[in-house]
Amino acid sequence: MLSLQWIREAPDEVREMLARRGAAAPVDEVLALDRERRSILTEVEQLRAERNRAGKAIGRAPDAAAREALIAAQRAGAGRIDALDARRREVDAALHDLLAQFPNRLHPDTPVGAGEADNPVLRTVGLPRAFGFEPKPHWEVGAALGILEIDRAAAMAGTRMYALRGQGARLQRALINHLLEQNEEAGYEPWYLPNMVREEAMFASGQLPKFHDNLYRDAEEDYYMVPTAEVPLTSLHRDEILDAASLPLRYTAHTPCFRREKMSAGRDVRGIKRVHQFEKVEMYQFTTPEGSAAALEEMVAHAERLLRDLGLTYRVLQLCSGDLGFGAAISYDLEVWAPGAAEWLEVSSISDCLDFQARRANTRFRPEGGSATSFVHTLNGSSFGMTRVLAAILETYQREDGGVNVPDVLQHRMGRLMQITPPADAGG
């Protein structure tokens, strides 16, 4: 949520921000309602002052007629106040709905660009593996090993679903546990969280109303299935005032993620790159405005180390204004190289949302020695979405005989297994 004061005091800056994002939002409507709201508040304040003066004058009235006139005027003023208060509530609700349509402001370091093609690549780490054979895409590797079951998943759940079998399931479990433990060692406290949340949690994180059509919802119970652990993590401290001394708070969680992918129709239809349900490990921080920039750099560095440990070639991009997420002010994407499909796969987007989510969640902190509260800053990042990392592992570590080597850091979590080999009979 943007500050209404910023829109009021610098509407041209807001319009420029929206133009850089290639977004639209009702600036003029907000300004008009804001003027009406402030006019209402001024009139109510005046009427209450007049009512108070009338109340004092009633006791000093020279006769009954004068007293009755003052009482009638007082009643009329009260009726007008009630009507104005009712209208103010309507205006407040309308303002809230309009403000919810505004994306976050841009960080000064976010480059201006129209879309994905304008995202600068900051660095590429590692060289793509040189193969002595033609590498295959992960859906062929996984199927030949008998560990990836796309057709069987589709038969029970439809398209964009997958199932992992045997060593495939073990590999994903090993990867999740490795990433969670690495996050813990880096100072992130683990959480087990609800996978279904109320509308308020979706709003606080910025998912609603913008991404309503991309969310799964149980209308009967009014629950939403989380598209990312960022959603429940954002609401852990909703309507709370945190002590400055407790910040930063670093949290990590693993959840399944549910996405309708209506905004990606026709894209990435093969394999498990874009599916309706997948597992993801998330990092999240609540911090002060002063600690926000350092927290972002820390999270990016940590995610990069995790990819280096897995032995994957990756690159870091900075998202331009036209490709930036709705709630982010500045973001970095980490993409891994998938040699079988010959493409880069985004496995993490790490964002600083400044106080955008905190305003929606009403999460504040009290500075040490101070009385006034301020909104915290929130940051989030994947570490990682499992499907694309699994795809990159299968394609990077594949062998000519059809097997796949297990990354060194995961072998001890798979019973010291060094390689996954095709079973004698992958059917059944």
Active-site amino acid positions: 259, 274, 346, 349, 388
Between vectors from CA 29 to CA 27 and to CA 34, what angle results, nearest 5°? 95
What is the rounded CA–CA span in Å between residue 402 and residue 422?
A: 7
Alpha-carbon distances, residue 109 vs 96, 192, 258 (angstroms) = 29, 34, 32
* Coil/strand/helix, residue 244: helix
Q: What is the 3-state secondary structure (H, E, C) of 314-350?
A: EEEEECCCCCCCCCCCEEEEEEEEECCCCEEEEEEEE
Contacts of 176 (CB under 8 A, 6+ apart): 254, 279, 281, 386
Q: What is the DSSP string of 264-320?
A: GTTSS-STTSS-SEEEEEEEEEEE-GGGHHHHHHHHHHHHHHHHHHTT--EEEEEPP
Contacts of 339 (CB under 8 A, 6+ apart): 128, 129, 131, 135, 395, 396
What phi and psi, each to the nearest 5 degrees, are found at residue 340?
Answer: -70, -45
